[in-house]
Amino acid sequence: MPLPDSFVHTVSLTFEGGAEWLGRLPELIAACEARWGLVAQPHFPGLSYNYAAPAALADGTEIVLKLGVPRHELTTEIEALKLYNGRAMCHLLDADAAMGVLLLERLRPGHMLITVSDDETATRLAADVMRRLWRPLPEQHIFPAAADWIADLAALRTEFDGGAGPFPARLVEMAESLFADLVASSAPPVLLHGDLHHYNILAAEREPWLAIDPKGVAGEPAYEVGALMRNPLNLHEWPNRTAVTARRLDILAEQLEMDRQRLLAWSFAQEILSQWWDYIDTHSQPNMWLAECLAGMLGEQVRG
């Protein structure tokens, strides 16, 4: 089975047993075909951490077959999909967490929000999906708390013996302080998507735009905007990126009826966290343009 080199590299390096799982992937797909009576087609382009392919059930229903190295993150995705139950989200048709398998509704036409060329329109559409997604948390749940990720910033310090390594020290210090303040003053947590951005919002027929690939995170609603603010992946190349970033905050604050300063603070803290996670995975030099941009806006508001 031909697989993209980038996918093989990512899975092999990221997950314990990833290389072995890749070797068993044809057997896993065959087992899915036998168990659910489906026919899998060649995978979608752009595989990253999981394998995803169009498939068809025996009655001709089009679905998406998703497989990943079994882990807690896939289990929380399954639980989040169950709770969303198709509300602003693709339906989960069936799953086996132990196998790392999900059968998902195939969204048509299925093009990503990134295809909407006007950024203001795309931001408003994303905000609408956010509002429709947020759900109360059950009393007992397995979702990670956004508040707990402050420990990851502590891990950055540990990695660099109390310093900040390739990360600007003043930005790390700002993120640590803001993260602590935001957690201390957070609204009651709800079920968040946890990674809602332009590539995880698709055009659909039963609703204009629906989300896919939820992480399943327990946090206050204002936390959700961070992933959107740092996407699409080539945002750093946009000549008007600073103006776009400021305008997005304006739109999100208006559409979500939230405090712009809080959205800005969460976006900044998450950007430092995201850069740290990328560094763990790739050890590449952090790209700090967005952090610097957001830090400048925070400074302007403080001075104002």
> Which helix H or strand E contains 14, and what residues bound it?
helix 5-14
Q: What are phi and psi of 221, to 5 degrees?
A: -55, -35
Per-residue pLDDT of the chain (304 residues; tens, 9 = 90+): 689 999 999 999 999 999 999 999 999 999 999 999 999 999 999 999 999 999 999 999 999 999 999 999 999 999 999 999 999 999 999 999 999 999 999 999 999 999 999 999 999 999 999 999 999 999 999 999 999 988 999 999 999 999 999 999 999 999 999 999 999 999 999 999 999 999 999 999 999 999 999 999 999 999 999 999 999 999 999 999 999 999 999 999 999 999 999 999 999 999 999 999 999 888 889 999 999 999 999 986 544 4
What is the distance between the terminal CA atoms of the chain, rounded to a whole angstrom? 58
At 300 the pLDDT is 67
Question: What DSSP designation does 89 have?
Answer: B
Q: Look at residues 259, 249, 251, 255 and name the one whose alpha carbon lies nearest to residue 294.
A: 249
Give residue limits of the domains in the chain: 5-105, 113-303
280 touches 10 (CB < 8 A): no
Query: What CATH topology corresponds to 113-303?
Result: Aminoglycoside 3'-phosphotransferase; Chain: A, domain 2 (3.90.1200)
At 303 the pLDDT is 45
Burial of 239 (0-12, 13-18, 19+ CB in 10 A): exposed
Fold match flag (5-105 vs 113-303): no
At 66 the pLDDT is 98
At 304 the pLDDT is 42
- Residue 167 has, within 13 A of its CA and on its CB side, a CA count of 29
CATH number for the domain formed by residue range(s) 5-105: 3.30.200.20
Question: Which residues in 164-278 belong to E strands, given as ranges?
Answer: 190-192, 201-203, 209-211, 217-219
Q: In this structure, is the dihedral angle defined by the CA atoms of residues 115, 118, 119 and 124, taken in order, positive or negative?
A: negative
Neighbours of 115 (CB within 10 A): 11
Q: What are phi and psi of 246, to 5 degrees?
A: -65, -40
List the structure tokens of 64.
């998406």
At 301 the pLDDT is 54
Neighbours of 173 (CB within 10 A): 12
pTM of the predicted model, to two decimals? 0.95
